[in-house]
Chains A and B, each alone.
Chain A
Amino acid sequence: MATERRTDIGPPHYSRFLPPVIKDNYGKWKYHEILKPGVMVHVSEGGDKLFTVRASSPRLLGTIGIRRFAALADKYCDGFMRFTSRHNVEFLLTDEAKIDPLIAELADLGHPVGGIGNAISSIVHTQGWVHCHSAATDASGVVKAVMDDLIEYFDGSTAIPGKLRIALACCLNMCGAVHCSDIAILGVHRRPPKVQHDNLAKLCEIPNVIASCPTAAIRPAEVNGKASVDIDEELCMFCANCFSVCPALPMADALNDGISIWVGGKVSNARSEPMFSKLAIPFIENNPPRWPEVTEAVRKIVEVWVDGARKYERMGEFIERIGWPKFFQLTGIEFEKQHIDDYKFAGLSFKRSAQLRH
């Protein structure tokens, strides 16, 4: 019995998943207030109130974990909930009296509440060693270790000057698009691809491989009678674009892979325009399971910002105000050759004035 195959139907319409209070007040919200860490209320033109409780999530969820969230939504929110762009879980309540019992139950289940307003929200991140072919570090493990350490800034037990957004991508492909984050944790390879001459021609289109290299470091070559490629290692900047088009050019290397830290990016237009993150620490070795050197470096940068930033000032705005030399001095991070850009338009980042703090 053949049934017609459904395709190209797109996602279900969102209106099926909106609670009545949202349907009634869609486009009619007037203002919101943050009631306490992780809890806010939105008030409509007509006076209706919608309470949001934002809870932490590891992003990687099993169906058992999702069903637990669904059960909480049934118990406290008539079955309505959502996720945020930073992997948080949000419960949508109309009964204010249910907020504290929900928070207590979330705490029992190991999901601290927070991340709203002037706080560190969840870390946007990628797959890492759990499921990615090009990872230079794990993602979930580093995120877990960093957030364990920074929990006081998520749950509101320590107040901070403004928003601080951390993101992690496990290689330069940046599926996590971390390049505009207050603090970016970025996996880096430091060894050129190891060419698998025996099967390269079988697995890959050699002209595509050559064309994929932004620095023209890849040339055709015949090795042991087989068509393959040769890599000018001095020209390799470890972008892994060739590996993306050719699996016979693996980049991963335990001795040379690790993590870099970038600071001062933002996407919001508030006050200053959106900014890229800039290099703070070129390389930290992978040290699983808890990457203590990474958590320590991130904490130090956060603390320098918490101590020195003005109210609402984002990391990048703070650093622009005090100057980069001061940032390196306050964090104790050594300034090295790698901090100076040498790719396209590098000169734009050179200091071209005598306006210096002495």
Chain B
Amino acid sequence: MADSQRSTPLLDELKKGPWPSFVTQIEEMADAGKEECDQLLRLLERSYVEKVGHWKHGGIVGVMGYGGGVIGRYSDLQEDYPAIAHFHTIRVNQPAGWFYTSDALRTLCDIWDRHGSGLTNMHGSTGDIIFLGTTTAELEPTFAELTANDFDLGGSGSNVRTPSCCVGQARCEWACYDAMDACHNITMHFQDELHRPFFPYKFKFKFAGCPNDCVASIARSDMSVIGTWRDQIRIDQDEVRKYAQGDEEGGRNTPLNIQRDVVGNCPTKCMEWDDNELIIDDSNCVKCMHCINVMPKALRPGTDTGATILVGAKAPIVEGAQLSSVIVPFAKMEPPYDEIKDLAERIWDFWGEHGKNRERVGELMQRVGLGNFLEAIEVDPMPEMVAYPRDNPYVFYEEYYEEGDEEDEEEDE
């Protein structure tokens, strides 16, 4: 049972204020009898006093047959805090779009109350449900109960990490493809790659329904699939005029300055407004979403929709942070998404062969050069892939001609 002697004056300061408190969440669990939560609070208070963390990594832990999904975590003060000496994380693959029923949430809570600390992250940075803190002995029983209830572990280590997606067509009119279906489909297709690490390092997929990119795919995933369209923005001119005039209904009672706030913000200056009609030169539109974001009742993405596929984003470790780069300017996104699956497998083949330990795909692209990378994954270079062509003249030509070559070549034809 929780010890009534617990004293956490520094953490108590974080129970004050309007934002919901994580300290209160841990404390509730401690007061409900979770000894490990009580000791976690004491350990955290100590970190707040000492200004240093008290966790260690290392030691391979997991469930039978899987190489990922569990992250070993140990306190470096095991004798003082025995209940959290071993305090492993279990990553549980979230349903696409993070939708739940209350029953499903309670099922997860029941499992975690029986086998762990009862603490979670909803959700972790990659998108998983995070079960925070249990012992090695509880891993297999937790896994058995999760799978009995149709949940499975997510990725960790050098494997496909749990794919995630935005809310997509479930609740967003801007989704240019079925992001939740694509996410689920890809997750199911690559179950082996997700649970058994055999890559040089991690590989993340993220699916964003439109260029607003609510899942930050361009910054956070090795393969970023961002919805777009290639026909005309759909315009309802009456609704545009209502935005311009202001409308008492629907919270639009402030007139919108279409010239300044819409046309003036267009990155390619592809629109004109004559106080009556909005004219868009769609051939010069870069699908930035600004005008649609500002006037959702008047403008909508086109109907010839698909996605741009970009590759290589990562956080700084170790060669520096990168955003993803365009590899496929436009792909129709239809089940079973073979274009994405084939592309991913070609990238993994090359990366598996040439990648260094802990080298992300984005770093490999930098190291070998985007041109060589494209050749290796059998994708033709296109001007959409660069912001501008090279401005340095040192071109690595791979072959040169000798006197007489030209004639031979002609003879071959």
- Docked CA distance A63–B110 (Å): 8
Known: A83-B98, A131-B132, A268-B213. A344 touches B320 (CB 8 A): yes
- Docked CA distance A248–B101 (Å): 44
- Docked CA distance A62–B287 (Å): 41
Known: A14-B96, A32-B173. A312 touches B265 (CB 8 A): yes
Residues of B near A80 (CB, < 8 A) are 99-102
- Does B14 lie within 8 Å of A81, measured CB to CB? no
Residues of B near A26 (CB, < 8 A) are 169-170
Residues of B near A33 (CB, < 8 A) are 250-252, 296-297
Is B93 positioned at the interface, with any CB of A under 8 Å from its CB? Answer: yes
Known: A82-B100, A151-B18. A62 touches B26 (CB 8 A): yes
- Does A12 lie within 8 Å of B317, measured CB to CB? no
Residues of A near B57 (CB, < 8 A) are 133-134, 244, 247
Chain A positions near chain B (C-beta within 8 angstroms): 5-14, 16-18, 22, 26-27, 29-36, 42, 50, 52, 56-67, 69-71, 73-74, 79-85, 87, 89, 92, 110-112, 124, 126-135, 138, 140-141, 143-145, 147-148, 151, 169, 172-177, 179-180, 203, 208, 211-212, 214, 239-241, 244-245, 247, 252-254, 257, 265, 267-272, 274, 276, 286, 288-290, 311-312, 343-345
For the complex with contacts A16-B104, A144-B21, A289-B10, 6 further pairs of A-B residues with Cβ separation under 8 Å are A12-B151, A18-B170, A29-B173, A32-B296, A73-B101, A84-B167
Q: Mark B157-198, 1 if CB is under 8 A from A, else 0.
A: 000000010110111110100101000100110011001000
- Does B101 lie within 8 Å of A16, measured CB to CB? yes
- Does A65 lie within 8 Å of B25, measured CB to CB? yes
B213 nearest CB neighbor, chain A only: A267
A8, A253, A274: which contacts B152 (Cβ < 8 A)?
A8
Shortest B38–chain A CB gap in Å is: 12
Residues of B near A270 (CB, < 8 A) are 211-212, 288-290, 293
Chain B's interface size range is: 35 or more
- Does A29 lie within 8 Å of B171, measured CB to CB? yes
Q: Lowest 6 CB-CB distances: which A-B pairs, in order?
A: A148-B17, A174-B315, A70-B102, A269-B211, A63-B109, A147-B19
- Does A29 lie within 8 Å of B102, measured CB to CB? no
- Docked CA distance A326–B407 (Å): 64
- Docked CA distance A269–B326 (Å): 13
- Does B166 lie within 8 Å of A83, measured CB to CB? no
Shortest A308–chain B CB gap in Å is: 16
Known: A50-B171, A52-B171, A245-B358. A8 touches B192 (CB 8 A): yes
- Does B118 lie within 8 Å of A64, measured CB to CB? yes
Shortest B18–chain A CB gap in Å is: 5
A-B pairs with CB below 8 Å: how many?
Answer: 370
Is B86 positioned at the interface, with any CB of A under 8 Å from its CB? Answer: no
Segment at the A interface, from B40-48, B270-278, B330-338, B369-377? B40-48
Candidate in A17, A26, A212 with the most chain B CB atoms within 10 angstroms:
A17
| Interchain Cβ contacts under 8 Å between A and B, 7 examples | A5-B65, A9-B150, A9-B152, A112-B20, A141-B48, A241-B318, A343-B320
Residues of B near A290 (CB, < 8 A) are 13-14
Shortest B19–chain A CB gap in Å is: 4
- Docked CA distance A31–B37 (Å): 45
- Does B96 lie within 8 Å of A11, measured CB to CB? yes
Residues of A near B286 (CB, < 8 A) are 269
- Does A66 lie within 8 Å of B122, measured CB to CB? yes
- Does A269 lie within 8 Å of B288, measured CB to CB? yes
- Does A254 lie within 8 Å of B25, measured CB to CB? no
- Does A70 lie within 8 Å of B358, measured CB to CB? no
Residues of A near B93 (CB, < 8 A) are 10-11
Is B68 positioned at the interface, with any CB of A under 8 Å from its CB? Answer: no
Candidate in B73, B103, B171, B321 with the most chain A CB atoms within 10 angstroms:
B171
Residues of B near A131 (CB, < 8 A) are 55, 73, 87, 89, 132-133
Residues of B near A345 (CB, < 8 A) are 320
Known: A65-B25, A267-B213, A344-B320. A17 touches B171 (CB 8 A): no
Residues of B near A62 (CB, < 8 A) are 25-26, 28-29, 37, 118-120
Is B66 positioned at the interface, with any CB of A under 8 Å from its CB? Answer: yes
